[in-house]
Structure 1
Amino acid sequence: MSTIYLRRTYMRDLPAINRIIEDAKNALKTAGSPQWQDGHPDRRTIINDITHHLSWALVVDEQVVGVATMVPGPEESYQQLQGGAWSDDDNPYLTIHRVAIGNQARGQHLSTFLFSNLLTIGQERGYTNFRLDTHRLNKAMQAIARKFSFQYRGTVNVADQIDPERLAYELNLPTNELPVEYHVNNDFMRPMINRK
């Protein structure tokens, strides 16, 4: 049985993360999506995510097989939402970015584990508002957003030289009910979650 967990990324993870990001870029290209085809996320972005403790590694049997970033808002590109409105524009939010699973782990439904743990970490930090964006041709990200009850809110434009338009999603959890506190036993994660 595999050991699977989520942890912070470190500089020693950079080669593995670079490979995972390249795998994701190639998968998006194969699917016909222009997302991530203009050179980003690049090495500088990944290093920034690591050094600012924004990046999380999905580890299976001690191998980093996935990565994601959670960035506290406000996000500049989200200020100009088109074709809709955010449901909660008053409370702080976390944006989930740069989600990628490496080729060796694709097709194992690990993105479900990844998202579940990201939301757990966010809730432990007091957030109940989560956002993400993705290209209209990125069906895999749209599917995971729907699976976790993210709601489509409209479109935003991001810094992409090929096609900047992204579908924007939001998840609002009840403020009086934090499932992680009452139903999830992730005590092994508490030391890293509590380091803000």
Structure 2
Amino acid sequence: MQLLHSRKGSGNLALTYIRLATQDDVSKMLVIVKEAQQLLASEDIPQWQNGYPSKETLLDDIAKKISYVLIVGQEVAGFAALLQEPDNNYQKITAGKWFNTEDTHYATIHRIAVSSHFHGQHLAETFINHLISISCSLGFDQIRIDTHERNTRMRHLIKKIGFIYSGIVYMNNNSEDCRNAYQLFLK
């Protein structure tokens, strides 16, 4: 499935869309991982450090058909994973609660990054909106996402799109690796 979006950039019209990632995209995705790791580290955000996400993680996402790439013109400008099963990290939430807990059918946006060559063009917002559209077409009306408390840029974007703060979740039950968690309901 491809969702299309045209935008003006540098005086010309560039086709912008997302598609499922393939193994051919991995080398570019790894470059984007390094760029994101450097940006986060420069802002003292411990997210995505220590080799995460790894090449193996990206390949696993591709094999599961949950990895999407953002294409601008003909170039891979970003990537993300769209989980389509309950996230184990979301089983326990503190300092808040999940809303509508009887509905455990939700999609989760993880591992989203946009190349530093495309920063300032609001492409992360475009990308998330396309992932929301895909979630809806797959029958999900609830989407979850998380980010580190210090990642103010992502927290701002998440709220701007319409996600509501739900509480704190811990990655792999590690009490030192917590994230702010959010939900979006489409109905």
Instruction: State how far apart, in whole Å, the 1-side matches of 2:175 and 2:169 are.
Output: 14
Aligned equivalent of 2:89, options 74, 77, 81: 77
User: What is the 5 A alignment of 1:174-193?
Assistant: 174=187
1:171 deviation in Å? 0.6
How many corresponding residue pairs? 174
Encode CA deviations 1:85-109: one digit per residue, 9 max, x unaligned.
1112222000100010011111111
Q: Distance in 2 between matches of 1:24 and 1:160?
A: 24
2:154 counterpart (141, 152, 155): 141
Per-residue deviation at 1:157?
0.4
Alignment match, 2:5: none
Residue 67 of structure 2 is matched in structure 1 by 55
Shift of 1:141: 1.2
TM-score w.r.t. length of structure 2: 0.89
Give the CA RMSD over aligned residues.
1.4
Instruction: Spell out, residue by residue over 1:67-123, the C-alpha distance to the aligned partner (whole angstroms, 9 max, x if none).
Output: 111102311111110011111222200010001001111111101110110000000
Q: Would you say the 8 A contact 2:89–2:173 is kept in 1?
A: no
Measured against aligned partners, the alpha-carbon deviations of 1:109-156 in whole angstroms (never above 9, x if no partner) come to 101110110000000111010001110011121111101110111101
1:153 corresponds to which residue?
Answer: 166
Q: Is the 1:88–1:172 contact (alpha carbons within 8 Å) kept by the matching residues of 2?
A: no
Distance in 1 of aligned mates of 2:186 and 2:91: 21
Provide the rounded CA distance (Å) in 2 between the counterparts of 1:160 and 1:30.
26
**Structure 1 length-normalised TM:** 0.85
Between the aligned partners of 2:175 and 2:51, the Cα distance in structure 1 is 10
> What is the distance in 2 between the residues matched to 1:122 and 1:90?
19
**Alignment of 1:2 onto 2:14:** yes
Which residue number in structure 2 is paired with residue 88 of structure 1?
A: 100
Matched residue type, 1:134 = T
Within-5 A mapping of 1:122-133:
122-133=135-146
Q: Is the 8 A contact 1:35 1:163 kept in 2?
A: no
Contact kept, 8 Å, 1:38 with 1:161, in 2: the verdict is no
Secondary structure class of the residue paired with 1:2: strand
Which amino acid in structure 2 is aligned with residue 109 of structure 1? H
Greater RCO, CA 8 A, separation 6+: 1
Q: Which runs of 5+ in 1 are unaligned?
A: 175-196
Offset at residue 16 of structure 1 (A): 0.5
- The percentage of counterpart residues that share the same residue type is 32
CA 1:109/1:164 → structure 2, altered by over 3 Å: closer, same or farther?
A: same
Q: Distance in 2 between matches of 1:163 and 1:24?
A: 21
CA contact (8 A) 1:33 1:135 kept: yes
Paired amino acid for 1:158? M
| Conservation of the 8 A alpha-carbon contact between 1:133 and 1:169 | yes
